[in-house]
Amino acid sequence: MCGICGKYNYATTEPVTKEELGKMNDLLIHRGPDDEGYHTDGNAGLAMRRLSIIDLSTGHQPICNEDGSVWIVFNGEIYNFQALHDMLVAKGHVFKTRSDTETIVHLYEEKGADFVKDLRGMFAIAILDKKRKRLLLARDRIGKKPLYYSMNGTFIAFASELRSLLASGGVSREVDLRAVDAYLTLQYVPSPLSIFKSVKKLEPASILVLENGKAVIEKYWDLPLNAEKLTLPLPEIKERLYDGLLEATKIRMISEVPLGAFLSGGIDSSVVVALMAESSSQPVKTFSIGFKEAEFSELAYARQVAQMYGTEHTEFIVEAGMAGILETLVRHYGEPYADSSALPSYFVSRETRKSVTVALNGDGGDENFGGYLRYVAMRVDSYWHVVPTAVKKALLNLAYLFPKKAPYGIFWRAAKFMKASMLQNQPLRYVSTISMFGPNEKRGLLSAKFENRLGGGINYGERYITDLFEAPAGQDLINKLLYVDFRSYLPECLMAKMDIAAMANSLEARSPFLDHKVIEFAYRLPGNLKLKGINGTKWILKETFKDFLPERIYKRGKMGFGIPLGAWFRGELKNYWAETCLSPKALGRGYFNKEHLFMLWDEHQSRARDHGYRLWTLLMLELWHKEFADDFKI
C-alpha cells in the first residue's frame, strides 16, 4: 500500500526534477512511512511512499521491466499476483523481486492497456512507457484507491491525494461551483469532478492513456447488466456464496505484517470475522468503535461476535470533544466531505494501527445484498406512489407534529420518506432518500447569486444520479438501486472515507465483499433474494451465514454508522458551529441566504427539527474553505 504521484511535461522538454516530486511525495508520508522512491527521466517523473505489506525486503518502487523502458508506481494490493507471476515467467519474463508491483509491469508488456482486466485487487497505477512516450493511469473496479490528476495543455500531474497534487505547481485553485452544489446534495463531490475546476478524479474501472499529446479515458469493467439472473436451487446459491466469500477473505489475509479486522457488530463485519476465524489458527484481532449515547453504539453486538469466536478484542469510545480532529480530517480529504462517520472511522483506524498494519472490513455487504433501509423505502414507494399527493402532504404535516431525531427516529424517517414520495420521478425520489439537502430543500438555502453563477450547472448531483438510472433500466427495482449505489455512493463516498481514514493512520483496509468475483456473482442474483418483502434486508446473506452469527445479530436490522450530531450541536459543538459557520467570513462567501441559515440553526436549537446532519454538511464545507480556499467568495 502506498501513496503515488508524478508529472509528465508531454508538450515540452522541461525536465521533471526529484525536488519538485519531493514536494508532492512529502505530503503522502502517512500513506507510506516505510520507504520512498523516485524515478526521473527528462520531462517525466514518478514517485511513491510505501507502506510495506508484502515482499518487505525487495518491494521498492518505482520499478521497471528488464530493459528499463517501462516504469511503474502502484498503490494497492493484487491478490492473484502469484498466479500472474507464474504465467509471466512461463512466457519468458525475468523478475527481480517477489512483489505484485513488478508483476503488473510485465503484465503490461504482455497485454498492453488490457492488463487491468487480469488484476484481482485494489489499485491506483501509473505506468510510464518511454518507447511509446505514453503515460497510463488506471484505477480499480470499485474505486478503493483514489487518483487525482490535472492537465493544462503542456503537462499532466497526478497524485493519490489532492494536497499532493496541488504541490506539483501550476494547478489552479479555482473552485468548481457545480462541485459545491453536488456536495450539498450528496455529501461528497462525485468523480470525475473535484472541488477545483482544473483537477479531475479518475473514475473507478477506468484507464487514462496519454499519448501523442492526447488523453483518452476508457471504462474496462461494469456490473454484469446483460448476464442472465441465476435461477439455481437455494442450497446451491448459498454454497456458492459461502465459497466465494471464504476465498475472498482468505486471499485478503495474505500479509507479512500483523493483521486484524474492524468489527462493528453488524452482519457484514461479523461475517468477515467468522470467515477469518475459520481460516486462521490464531485468534483474530478485532477492533470496535462506539459512543456514550447508547442508541448510536453497537459495541454490545460486537462483543457477542468477539466472544463467539474468541477474538482479541479492543474497543474505543468516541466523544464530542474528539471533534477537534476535524481540521486534520479536512486536510486529508482535500475536498468537502460530509459523511459524519468519517470521524469514528478515523479513530477506529488510529486505534487499530496500534496493533496491526492490515485490517479487513465489511464494506460492500449492503451494496451487494440490499442492506440499506432506503431500498425498503423505494420498494414501499413503488406501491405508495398511487396515494394522492394531498394525502401525502397531510401525513407529512402530521409527522412534523412529533419529535424527530436524526437519523434513527421513526418520525424523522417517516417525514423524509413522505417528502421523497411527492417528487415527480423515481430517480429524484431516490436522490431525496440519500441527500443532505433534497431537490426542493436547496431552493431556500442557496443565494440568488450562487444560483445565477451556477446557471445550467445547477442541480449537478440530481442529474448525476438520474443519469445512472439509465443503464440498469431493465433490472428489477432492487438491482437497479444497487447498480446506482455501486456507481455512486459506494466508490465516491464509502471508499473515499475508508481510504482516507485508514491511510491517514498508515493502515491498509481490505474488503472481501468488494472482490469483483463476489460482486459479479451477487449481482446475478434476483432482487427478491436480497430484499424479501419490505423488511427482509440482505436475506440471502443472512440465510447463508445464520449459523455463523449470534441470533441477536442475525435477526437485527440495519443500524448504520451514525453519530449523535443532533445532541452534539446543542451541546459541546454548539459554539464551535456558530463561530465557524455564522462568522462574517463564512456568511460573506455568498453561498447561502443568511435568513435560511439562521432558521436552520434556530429550529435545531429549539428542537423543532433535527438538522444535525445538515449542520455537519455546512460545517465541513466551511472548514474546507478555511484550509484550502479561505479568501474565496462568490
Q: DSSP secondary structure string, 79-124?
A: TTHHHHHHHHHHTT---S-S-HHHHHHHHHHHHGGGGGGG--EEEE
Contact 349, 504 (CB under 8 A): yes
The cell for 420 is: 421523497
Is the sign of the CA dihedral 333, 339, 344, 349 positive or negative? negative
What is the distance between the alpha carbons of residues 622 and 581, in angstroms, rounded to a whole number? 6
Is the sign of the CA dihedral 364, 491, 408, 460 positive or negative? negative
Active-site residue among 2, 5, 493, 581? 2
Which residues sit opposite 315 in a β-bridge?
288
2 is catalytic: yes
What is the distance between the alpha carbons of residues 317 and 97, in angstroms, rounded to a whole number? 43
What is the distance between the alpha carbons of residues 301 and 558, in angstroms, rounded to a whole number? 12
Strands 358-360 and 259-262: what pairing?
parallel
Exposed/middle/buried for residue 91 (C-beta within 10 Å: 0-12, 13-18, 19+): exposed
Q: What are phi and psi of 592, to 5 degrees?
A: -125, 155
Give the residue carrying C-alpha cell 431500498: 375
**Among 285, 278, 257, CA closest to 358:** 257
Q: Which residues does the annotation mark as catalytic?
A: 2
